Amino acid sequence: MENVRLEISAPLARVTLDRPAKLNALNAQTIQELSQAFAQLREDDAVRAVILTGAGDKAFAAGADIGELARLEPIAGRDYGLRGQALFRAIELFPKPVIAAINGYALGGGLELALACTFRLASEAARLGQPEVKLGIIPGYGGSQRLPRLIGPGRALEMLLTGEPLTAAEALACGLVNHVFPAVELLPKAEEIARKIAANAPLAIRLCLEAVRRGMETNTEEALTLEASLFALLCTSEDMKEGTRAFLEKRAPRFQGH
């Protein structure tokens, strides 16, 4: 892969957008390589959490590649959007947590990529926005849908209609990011949080993700039934037996993911 760097140090993996000269803009090749990286990580049972970030100190991803966008005709534009949406939906539904470490600009498709992640951390220098209306278009990778679900329609529409970015502090205040750190601390803090997650039972993490994701897309009664079913399923797991036994024996659990 030329535009994406994949580093695995189990139980963690780091996926880095690696086009710093282009502010890690998301061209078609980068989308394809991201798909390849996440397909590989899905099958790697040793990986329990993923950190997604950008190379350099200026950008997480400064949006789609404008040179490619400018050449799109309607049919090609629809296909372009659907390819990106398919990748971002796969990240949104990924069976392991994906933490976005936003180290600079996250604009347009870059913010949409971060929105597809499990949650987001930002450096103090981060700027997050959906400036598509300034180019005569709207978000095409899910930003018009995920952003209002995350921060509410009023705040989201202000961002979408003005095209103006938020500072890291503003993003923290409205719940767009979970934490803001000095730039030098961003990746160490992301790894610290990822290791805390990876230390827990893998099946429980996976089904907790499923409970929240599926539950958010249905009504409360159906969501509670789903939760009860997933809880019951975990009661058959070896990890549940190990976790409860370790608690009673006052020792650290040794989870195996089954």
Is residue 55 a contact partner of residue 17, using CB atoms and an 8 Å limit? yes
Buried b / exposed e over 78-109, threshold 16 CB at 10 Å, is eebbeebbebbeebbebebbbbbbbbbbbbbb
Active-site position among 68, 132, 192, 249: 132
112 belongs to the catalytic site? yes
Question: For residue 245, is it left (φ>0), alpha (ψ between -120 and 50) or beta?
Answer: alpha
**Is the CB of residue 160 less than 8 Å from the CB of residue 136?**
no
User: Using an 8 Å Cβ cutoff, are 104 and 57 in contact?
Assistant: yes
Say which of 7, 33, 43, 112 is annotated catalytic.
112
CB of 17 within 8 A of CB of 4? Answer: yes
Query: What is the H or E stretch that residue 107 is in?
Result: strand 105-107
CA dihedral 93, 95, 97, 102 (to 10 degrees): -40
Residues recognised as catalytic: 112, 132
